[in-house]
Amino acid sequence: EPALIWFRQDLRLADNPALAAVQDRPVLPVYVIEDGPWSPGAASRWWLHHSLVSLGQALAGLGTPLFVCRGDARRIIPDLAASIGATEVHAGGQTEPAARDRDAETQTALQAAGARLILHRSALMHDPTRVRTAAGKPFSVYTPFSRAAAMGFDVLPPPIPAPRRLIGAAAAPTGLRPGQFGLLPRPDWAGEFADWWTPGEAGAMARLDSFLEDGLADYAQGRDQPAMEDGTSRLSPHLHFGEVSPATFWHATQGRRGTGRDIFRKELLWREFSHHLLWHRPEMPERALRPAFDAFPWRSDAAMLRAWQRGRTGIPIVDAGMRQLWRIGWMHNRVRMITASFLIKHLLQPWQDGEAWFWDTLVDADLGNNAASWQWVAGCGADAAPFFRIFNPVLQGQKFDAGGAYVRRWCPELAGLPDRFIHRPHEAPADVLREAGIAIGRDYPAPVVDLAEGRSRALAAFAAVKGAD
Ligand code: FAD
């Protein structure tokens, strides 16, 4: 009996339980490009385009083309199932609230027609409905969550190999051609992305192999050095789109020893935790998990927000990070923390504004990870850094980019500054600036906020909500 496989955030053939469930039957593989709350931002759409092309080629190689269409999946999926006589639709489960609602409504429509949607766990290693505290509640603190969740991971079944061949369903309709997906940015500002990224399963596996070879052993140190290209895995967009399963990572690091591996696994567990939170607190992308923060005295200011977005704050490590994000659709984790803290605390802009900008510009924009991370930095999340811990971006730069290589790479106008002023050009004496060929205000902005004043202003604002919940 024919079946539908509905790809969403599992754009891969290997270790894909939904695909494994249908591989011996005539199958129609489908992807629906949808609009709606938190539909992919501009950078993610670029990624999605290329990932769909890659998946389409891989499926065609196995004997069945990918049917891509645009519209409302709640209507399209039941129609397609009926058109090929399928009573089963297989897909990978998602944690995003809009996706869960859409699945529930699609299920109702399918059932009315005598069919059903069968969801498989392919994006996460743990099941958010099953991992519980001793009191039977969802977790809200990372460490006990990670212990409870990881207990199940050492017995994860080995990854399922990709099918060798698929049987196409008879009467399969023809979908959009890549030129009709409507996902690529116009004008094409994503030109540099292709130098950095290879979306698709083959690209994901190549990245994983090269990280295991060159990055994992030194990950404990490398992950805190933004200038180091192989310091972290850069697998986040591949994981977000499900081009590689998290269980494949877990298994790939099984035989390894060392702190690099252990810390890397902890990061994967942060991802599981963020999605656990999103599942149980679907309001997380919009609302502070600590309600007291609803009354936080933000100072929304379009000019400040824009200076931050464009990498024109006058604080080099912040500007370098924001420009890296704009240019390649990704920013190093350490710098994500510094730029987010600066926006929220020194500039007192609502964390949701930063979250929205990251959503639009990151190729790895991920609702669970992005919302949980912004709330964590803001101090309003479930298991958050305390608000009063305010990063000094100059000191952070000096600590994690000591030689200034990262700043010089992304803010080349500062390249001539000596190391001791690379993170604080505004404090450099006139002769140093002259020698480096820089005039503050002309070649590089003066800081948009005095760091000491910004810090005390943030603490005063925080006092307004402190202890309120
Ligand atoms: P690695 O260090 O190689 O880590 C491996 C994997 O673990 C990552 O690919 C990612 O899937 C996961 N991971 C690592 N750190 C975290 C974390 N703190 N929380 C959850 N998962 C993590 N990550 C996203 O995937 N999407 C986002 O939209 C996103 N937004 C963020 C916003 C802010 C303000 C901050 C501070 C962090 C955000 N992160 C987000 C988390 C983290 O910065 C990225 O996952 C990481 O930088 C990706 O690079 P990598 O693959 O080289 O990471």
- Over residues 58-71, mean pLDDT: 96
Centre of ligand 1 to C-alpha 27, Å, is 35
According to the model, what pLDDT value does residue 467 have? 65
Report the pLDDT value the prediction gives residue 16, as an integer from 0 to 100. 98
Residue 460: pLDDT band with limits 50, 70, 90: very high
CA distances from 434 to 405, 412, 438, 439 (A): 21, 16, 6, 7
**How far apart (Å, rounded) are the C-alpha atoms in residues 85 and 3?**
8
Q: Flag whether pLDDT at 227 surpasses 90.
A: yes
DSSP state of 195: H
Catalytic option among 359, 374, 376, 410: 374
pLDDT at 80 over 70: yes
Domains of the chain by start residue, with CATH: 3-121 (3.40.50.620), 124-158+202-280 (1.25.40.80), 291-463 (1.10.579.10)
Please report the pLDDT score of residue 42 as a whole number. Answer: 96
pLDDT value of residue 165: 94
Residue of the nearest CA to atom 29 in ligand 1? 370
The residue from 279, 351, 376, 410 that is catalytic is 351
Which of 369, 380, 406 most suits a substitution to test ligand 1, by most atoms within 8 Å of the C-beta? 369
If you average pLDDT over residues 201-221, what whole number do you get? Answer: 94
The ligand 1 site (C-beta within 6 Å) comprises 223, 232-236, 239-240, 267-268, 270-271, 274, 333, 336-337, 340, 358, 362, 364-366, 369-370, 373-374, 377
> Residues 46, 47, 197, 270: which is the catalytic one?
270
pTM: 0.97
Instruction: Could you list the beta-strand ranges (E) of 219-265.
Output: none
Given a contact cutoff of 8 angstroms between Cβ atoms, the answer to whether 407 and 317 are in contact is yes
DSSP E strands: which ranges in 25-150? 26-33, 67-70, 88-92, 116-120
DSSP symbols for 26-48 = EEEEEEEE--STT---HHHHHHH
- What does the pLDDT look like over 106-140, one tens digit per residue? 999 999 999 999 999 999 999 999 999 999 999 99
The pLDDT of residue 229 is 87
* Look-up of token digits 């990881």: 150
Is the confidence metric ipTM above 0.90 for this complex?
Answer: yes
Computed from CA positions of residues 212, 362, 144, 223, in that sequence, does the dihedral angle turn out positive or negative? Answer: positive
- At residue 186, the pLDDT reads 85
Distance of CA 84 from the midpoint of ligand 1 (Å):
40
Q: Is the pLDDT of residue 469 over 70?
A: no
pLDDT, tens only, 311-342: 999 999 999 999 999 999 999 999 999 999 99
**Looking at residue 272, what is its pLDDT?**
97
Q: Name every residue whose Cβ is closer than 8 Å to that of residue 68 and which is 6 or more positions away in sequence.
A: 30, 31, 32, 33, 52, 56, 175, 176, 181
Interacting residues of 291 by C-beta distance below 8 A, sequence separation 6+: 469
> Would you state the pLDDT for residue 57?
98
Q: How many angstroms does the Cα of residue 309 sit away from the middle of ligand 1? A: 19
Mutate to test the pocket of ligand 1, among 271, 338, 376, 380 (most ligand atoms within 8 A of CB): 271
Please name the residue whose Cα sits nearest to atom 31 of ligand 1. 370
Using the predicted structure, report yes or no on whether residue 168 has a pLDDT greater than 70. yes
- As a whole number, mean pLDDT of residues 45-60 equals 98
Residue 463 pLDDT? 86
pLDDT higher than threshold 70 for residue 468? no
pLDDT digits (tens, 9 = 90+) for 384-439: 677 778 999 999 999 999 999 999 999 999 999 999 999 999 999 999 999 999 99
pLDDT tops 90 at residue 178: yes
Residue 146 pLDDT: 94
CA nearest to 315, candidates 292, 290, 338, 331: 338
Can you tell me the mean pLDDT for 211-228?
Answer: 92
| 423 closest CA partner among 454, 453, 391 | 391
